[in-house]
Chains A and B, each alone.
Chain A
C-alpha cells in the first residue's frame, strides 16, 4: 500500500527544462507557462520572470538556471511541474548540463522563423547524453516569416527527432500553451527514485543568503528531508542540521518536506561557502546513502584573464566577492596572482568571452567594485627543449623563447549555420583567423552548415563580433574544444619607459605580431596621459623591438597667478587633479590609468 502511494505521488511530478538557441523564445515560453498554470498572477507578471538578474533582463539573455514549481490539473488530477529555465549561450553549456541532471524531460524550442541553430544542436546532444525525453516545440508560429514545415523537416533531418508530435506555439501570443501543458504531462516521464531509501539530493545550484547562509538548490532523487534532519555532504563529510526546506513558487516558499522527485531548496545555516559544492550529493548524517549520485563533469575554463581592483586597496573586497560569486557560478575558477603593474588580483578562468563579461559585470554591480581586466588568453601547452611540458594560462609565464621547442594552442571545432549568401565572407573570415576547412553541407536552399577548425585564441579575440557583422547577424556559431596544435606563436611584451609591463603581454601568431603590436602601442599612447618626462612605449618579441610610440612630456601644468585669494583655490584644484589620478597605477615612474589596460582589449587587426 505504502509503495503504491509513493509511486502515485511521483507519478504526478514532471521535472523538465527548456533548451533552445539564444533568442528562440525560451524565457518568454517560461513566462507563459507560469501564467497559464496560475503560478504567477497576471498582475505580478513581469517579462522574463525567471531571469531575475538585472543583466539578464537588460541583455535579454538567461545566464543562470532558475527553477519554478507549477501546479497543473489535467483530467481532474493535479500535477506538479518543475520547470528549470536554462541559458542558451555557448558559454553557459555547463549551466545547461547541470539543470539537465535534475530533469527527466526537455522542451526543445526552435524558432519557426530561424530553424535549427548552432546552439540548438549542442543542447540536444547534452539532453540526449542525460537520457532526457525531448519534446520538440516550434515557437513564433504567429510571425509572417514562420515556416513550420521547413522547421519540422530540419528537426527530423538534422536532429533525427520525430517532428510529428511537435507542439506549434507562439509564446508571445500565448497560442497553444494549453496543448503544450497536456503534452508535458502525457509525453514526459515522471521521476523514478525511491521515497523509502536513504536521502540522496543533488545540489544543482547554490546562492548565499545573509540570514540563512548557503542555500542549496536540489533535486531530491531518493528519500525525503525536512527541517531538523541531520544532513551530510557526501564529498567532504561535513554535517549540518537542516533549518528549512522549500520550493520555488517561483520565489522561495518554505514547505514542510521535500520528497523523492521534488525540486526545491535546502538551508542548513551553512556559513562557509566552501562547504558546499554544486554536483555534490546530500544525504543523512546517520544511515546515509553509501554511493553519491553521479555529479557533474568538472568544467574546464577555456579563457583566462587577470582581474584586479581598479583601486588596489580593495583587493580584499574583490576576494570576498569572488568567493560569493563562485558559490553561484560553479564554473568560475580563480587563483590569486600578482602583477608588477596591477598589484594583487586574480587569474580567473572563464567558459568564454560572454561568461567573462557577465562575471565582470556582476562583480561590478553586485559587489560595487571597479575592475581592471587584462586581455583574455587561452591555455597554451609549451614543450621545452629538454622534453618537459608546461601549461601557460598567462602570457607572462611563457618560458624564455630559447628553451621552448614548441608551443601548442587549443583548437576548436567551429560549427556555423548561415544563409548561403554569406558563405564567402564566412570562409574568408575563417581563413583570416587561421582556420582549417573541414566540411560544408547545404541543409536546404536557405541554410548551410560550415565546419572549420580554428585556434581558440582567434575565436576569443573578435571572431564572434566579426562573424555577426559580416553576416548581418544571420550566422550562428558554436564550438567545442578539439585538441591542441603547434603553431608559430610568439610572446609580445610591452615596455613602458623601458620596463616590461606584465599585464600587457600577449601570445600571438608571428604573422600578426607586428600589426597587433603597432595597434596596441598606438592605443597606449592615446590612453596614457602626458607626464613629467617622455615615455617610450615599445612592443618587443624577446629583445627585438617591433613597434614604438612615445608619450611626449608635459610641457606646461602651472597656475599662472597665485596670490592671496588663489591659494585655497589652487590647493583644491591640485587635490582634484590628484583625485583623478588615484585610479592610475604606478608602474615604475609611469602612471597608467586603469582604462589603458582595458583599451587594448577590443581592437581590430586592420
Chain B
C-alpha cells in the first residue's frame, strides 16, 4: 500500500472576499447536487486508477466547506471510506466564522482538526477586506469549536489595509487562547481580485513590504514566546500540532486532490482537475497530466523543502535523485551558498535574514 493524502476542494462561498483569487462560486442546490455527484465520480476514478492507496490524511478546503449542508459532506466522506483504506491521522475541515452550523457533527465523520478563517480580529480591518463577519462572531466560533476539538488552527493575513503592528500582536495574543496552530499569510494581491483594482486605482493604501517584514518578525517572536514553533514560512504550531497534511506537500509525498483545480501528485505525475467548465462537463475529461522529469522533481524538492524550517534533507535528496544537490545544481549552489546554512550537518536551510527573499534564490534553481 502507498500512503497518500486526500484533498477535497469545495468551491462554494457565501461571498467573495476582496483578497480572494481562489476558484469559488455561490451556493445553489442544483449545483451542489451536481458537484457532489461529480466529486464522488472523481473519488471513484482515483480509487480505480490507484487501488493501492491508503489515505493517510484528509483535508477538506475551499471555498467555505462549512456552508455546505452536512448531508453532502457526509455523503462524500462515506464514499471515501467505502472506496479507500483510510488510516487518517489527521482529518481537517475549513470553517468560516458565522458559518459553523455543523461543527459538532463533523467529528462523527472522523474530522479531528478544524481550520478557522479568522484573517483578523479587528472589525475595521475585516470590513475593509470584504469579510462578512465581525470580531464577536469569530470569538464565538473559536469558543464553540474548542468545545469539540483540541486541534484547532486559524488563518491570519498580514498586510491588510488598516492593519498595524499592534493589531496583529493583539490578534495573535487573543487567538492563542484557543488554537494550537496559526497560519500567518502575507497578503497576496492577485489579478482579478477587488484588492487588485484598489491597488491599481490607489483607492486604499496597503502597508509597505518593508514594514510587513518587521511585523512578521515581531509576530514570529510573539508566537515563539507563546509556545508556537515555526515549521514553514507561514505556519506556526504548538509541538506535535504541525499539520500533517500540509507537510505532505512540502516533502513531496504523494497526494490525491479532487474538486475544481485540485492537484494530485502520484509517482512522477502531477494531475490537475480543470476548473474551467467544471459545472458543465459531465465526464471526467478535465484531468491534465504533467509527467515530471527527475530534474523537475529535484527542483520542486528544492523550492518546497527550503520553505520549511526542517530544511532540505541532503541525504534523502542524493538517494532520491542519484546526485547531490551540488552536483545537480552547481551554479545555483555556488551563487547562493552565502545565503544558506547547514543544520545538523545534513540539512540545508536558508539563513533567516534571507528567508523571506527565498524566491530570488529559487529562481537560480529553475
Contacts and interface: CB of A to CB of B under 8 A. Distances in A.
Interface of A: 531-532, 552-565, 567-568, 570-571, 574-575, 577-578, 581, 589
Contacts of A532: 339, 354, 357, 360-361
B363 interface: yes
B186 A558 contact: yes
Contacts of A578: 363-364, 366
Contacts of B77: none
Contacts, number: 94
Interface of B: 7, 9, 185-188, 209-210, 212-213, 233-234, 246, 249-250, 255, 257, 261-265, 270, 272, 290, 299-300, 303-304, 307, 335, 339, 354-364, 366
A404 B7 CA distance: 74
Q: Which 10 A-B pairs have the closest CB atoms?
A: A560-B185, A555-B213, A557-B359, A560-B186, A565-B263, A578-B363, A564-B263, A554-B357, A556-B209, A556-B356
Contacts of A567: 249, 263, 270, 300, 304
A556 B250 CA distance: 20
Nearest to B183: A561
B360 A554 contact: yes
A563 B7 CA distance: 10
A563 B262 CA distance: 10
Given A556-B186, A565-B272, A574 B300 contact: no
Given A567-B300, A574-B303, A558 B356 contact: yes
Nearest to B362: A574
Given A556-B213, A557-B359, A571 B303 contact: yes
B263 A562 contact: no
A557 B263 contact: no
B257 A564 contact: yes
Contact of B250 (A555, A562, A575): A562
Contacts of A564: 7, 249, 255, 257, 262-265
A564 B266 CA distance: 12
A568 B265 CA distance: 11
Contacts of A571: 299-300, 303, 366
A577 B249 contact: no
A553 B307 CA distance: 20
Nearest to B299: A571
Contacts of A560: 185-188, 233-234
B123 to A, nearest CB: 23
A561 B243 CA distance: 14
A562 B299 contact: no
Nearest to B300: A567
A531 B234 contact: no
A401 B250 CA distance: 58
A555 B366 contact: no
A303 B213 CA distance: 48
A575 to B, nearest CB: 5
- The listed residue with most B CB atoms (<10 A of its CB), out of A560, A565, A575, is A565
A345 to B, nearest CB: 23
Nearest to B265: A564
Contacts of B263: 564-565, 567-568
21 contacts: A532-B361, A552-B210, A554-B360, A556-B186, A556-B356, A556-B357, A557-B360, A558-B356, A558-B357, A560-B187, A560-B188, A561-B185, A564-B262, A564-B263, A567-B263, A568-B290, A570-B303, A571-B299, A574-B362, A574-B363, A575-B366
A565 B209 CA distance: 25
Contacts of A561: 185, 188, 234
Given A532-B361, A560-B234, A570-B303, A555 B270 contact: no
Given A564-B255, A567-B270, 14 more contacts: A556-B357, A558-B355, A558-B359, A559-B188, A561-B185, A562-B249, A567-B304, A568-B290, A571-B366, A574-B359, A574-B363, A574-B366, A578-B364, A578-B366
Contacts of B303: 570-571, 574
A574 B359 CA distance: 7
B267 to A, nearest CB: 15
A21 to B, nearest CB: 49
A206 B307 CA distance: 61
- The listed residue with most B CB atoms (<10 A of its CB), out of A553, A559, A589, is A559
A583 to B, nearest CB: 14
Contacts of A563: 7, 246, 249
B92 to A, nearest CB: 12
Contacts of A589: 335
B186 to A, nearest CB: 4
